[in-house]
């Protein structure tokens, strides 16, 4: 029987012939690049950003050249591409980290029990709370989800299971793509015009905000659900049909449960997309300092509108209201984060279980 594994002496000769950089070589290159860039920047009076850019260039050139000298051209190309990926990831994370740091730094001082449980009604000369805005945001977003999720999911089911390549399906996809690019203020104006015709001019209430946000949510839900339904293997459908299960029941019991994790993720992304919208809510919901839990009567506050009003119309207490605006922004980010965590948990719970 022939032994295909190379002998120890052969492996040793091969490692000597093609030497490799140590595992900590990228770290060494990074430290040297940062030190050289910092020294050059301090000498020339640069800021942090130019020093970081030059350090990235030094790192890419230095590690690639080192690899080309010690290893070979293929290994150098591989290290260059890998380094470019890491540099791109770092550049993408910088705005996110700086934004979170700024919001946390500015808003943490406003967080306390009163801030989360009191409203701004009859508040004079002292900090109030954002309870009315939190409840308004949750109720309006819930109304938008109740409207958009069934419509979006049923539209996706038609596009995948019934319409397929029909002319109507192509038109629906085209209109969904157009709706994806609609400015949010247009959705607010549409909802305002619609309820002005139904109820009367100047009408402002929470359900109007739910309708406006649902217009922005529906195309995201349709597109994400459609892609998830397409990923369901055709074998599952055919096996269900072979057992005599009707199509509607196959969709309800096989297709949708299989794609449920992805559908929940798409819905969460849609909610995260609209929960921070200001313009449509400012038009159709208005602004109030009181707690209003009735979606069908009266103006309703929301976190984005509260943040906007606190910064543009701080009144006689600009410092207090601006700090409250940062605190409301922090709460809004925490709500979006909680929704994403909930979506991941629900996705794991509803994802199909595989056996061995």
Least Cα distance to 295 among 206, 211, 208 occurs for 206
pLDDT band for position 297 (cuts 50, 70, 90): confident
- What pLDDT was estimated at residue 166? 86
Q: Which residue has 């074998």 as its token pair?
A: 235
Residue 355: pLDDT above 60?
Answer: no
Other CB atoms within 10 Å distance of the CB of residue 32: 16
Q: Is-contact 129 119, C-beta < 8 A?
A: yes
- What pLDDT was estimated at residue 217? 93
- What pLDDT was estimated at residue 200? 82
Question: What predicted TM-score, i.e. pTM, was given to this entire model?
Answer: 0.81
- What pLDDT was estimated at residue 114? 85
All structural domains of the chain: 17-108 (no CATH), 117-350 (1.10.3720.10)
From CA 306, how far away is CA 325, in angstroms rounded?
7
- What pLDDT was estimated at residue 117? 87
Contacts of 201 (CB under 8 A, 6+ apart): none
- Could you give the percent of the chain with pLDDT greater than 70? 92
Distance of CA 60 to the CA centre of its chain: 30
Residue 317: pLDDT above 80?
Answer: no
- What pLDDT was estimated at residue 201? 84
CA atoms 208, 211, 212, 217: torsion sign? positive
From CA 271, how far away is CA 306, in angstroms rounded?
19
CA dist list (Å): 280 to 8, 212, 222, 266: 71, 6, 21, 22
From CA 83, how far away is CA 140, in angstroms rounded?
45
Compute the average pLDDT of residues 99-112. 88
DSSP string spanning 23-63? TTHHHHHHHHHHHHHHHHHHHHT--HHHHHHHHHHHHHHHH
For residue 224, give the 3-state DSSP assignment. helix
- What pLDDT was estimated at residue 152? 93
Compute the average pLDDT of residues 239-253. 89
């Amino acid at each position: 029987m022939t032994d295909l594994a190379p002998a120890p002496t052969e492996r040793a000769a091969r490692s000597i012939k093609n030497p490799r950089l140590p595992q900590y070589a990228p770290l060494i290159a990074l430290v040297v690049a940062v030190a050289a860039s910092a020294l050059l920047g301090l000498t020339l009076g640069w800021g942090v950003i130019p020093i970081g850019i030059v350090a990235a260039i030094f790192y890419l050139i230095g590690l690639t050249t080192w690899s080309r000298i010690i290893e070979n051209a293929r290994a150098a190309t591989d290290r260059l591409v890998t380094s470019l990926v890491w540099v791109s990831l770092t550049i993408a994370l910088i705005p996110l980290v700086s934004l979170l740091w700024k919001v946390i730094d500015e808003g943490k001082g406003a967080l306390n029990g009163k801030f989360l449980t009191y409203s701004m009604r009859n508040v004079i000369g002292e900090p109030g709370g954002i309870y009315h805005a939190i409840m308004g945001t949750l109720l309006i977003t819930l109304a938008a989800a109740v409207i958009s999720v069934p419509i979006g999911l049923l539209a996706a089911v038609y596009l995948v299971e019934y319409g397929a390549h029909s002319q109507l399906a192509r038109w629906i996809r085209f209109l969904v793509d157009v709706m994806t690019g609609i400015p949010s203020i247009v959705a607010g104006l549409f909802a305002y015009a619609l309820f002005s015709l139904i109820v009367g001019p100047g009408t402002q209430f929470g359900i109007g905000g739910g309708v406006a946000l649902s217009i922005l949510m529906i195309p995201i839900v349709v597109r994400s659900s459609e892609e998830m339904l397409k990923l369901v293997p055709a074998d599952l459908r055919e096996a269900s049909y072979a057992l005599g299960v009707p199509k509607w029941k196959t969709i309800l019991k096989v297709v949708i449960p299989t794609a449920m994790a992805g559908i929940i993720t798409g819905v969460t992304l849609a909610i995260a997309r609209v929960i921070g919208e200001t313009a449509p809510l400012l038009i159709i919901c208005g602004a109030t300092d009181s707690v209003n839990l009735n979606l069908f009567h009266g103006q309703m506050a929301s976190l984005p509108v509260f943040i906007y009003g606190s910064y543009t119309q701080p009144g006689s207490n600009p410092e207090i209201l601006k700090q409250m605006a940062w605190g409301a922004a922090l709460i809004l980010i925490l709500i979006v984060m909680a929704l994403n965590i909930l979506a991941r948990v629900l996705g794991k719970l509803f994802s199909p279980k595989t056996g061995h």
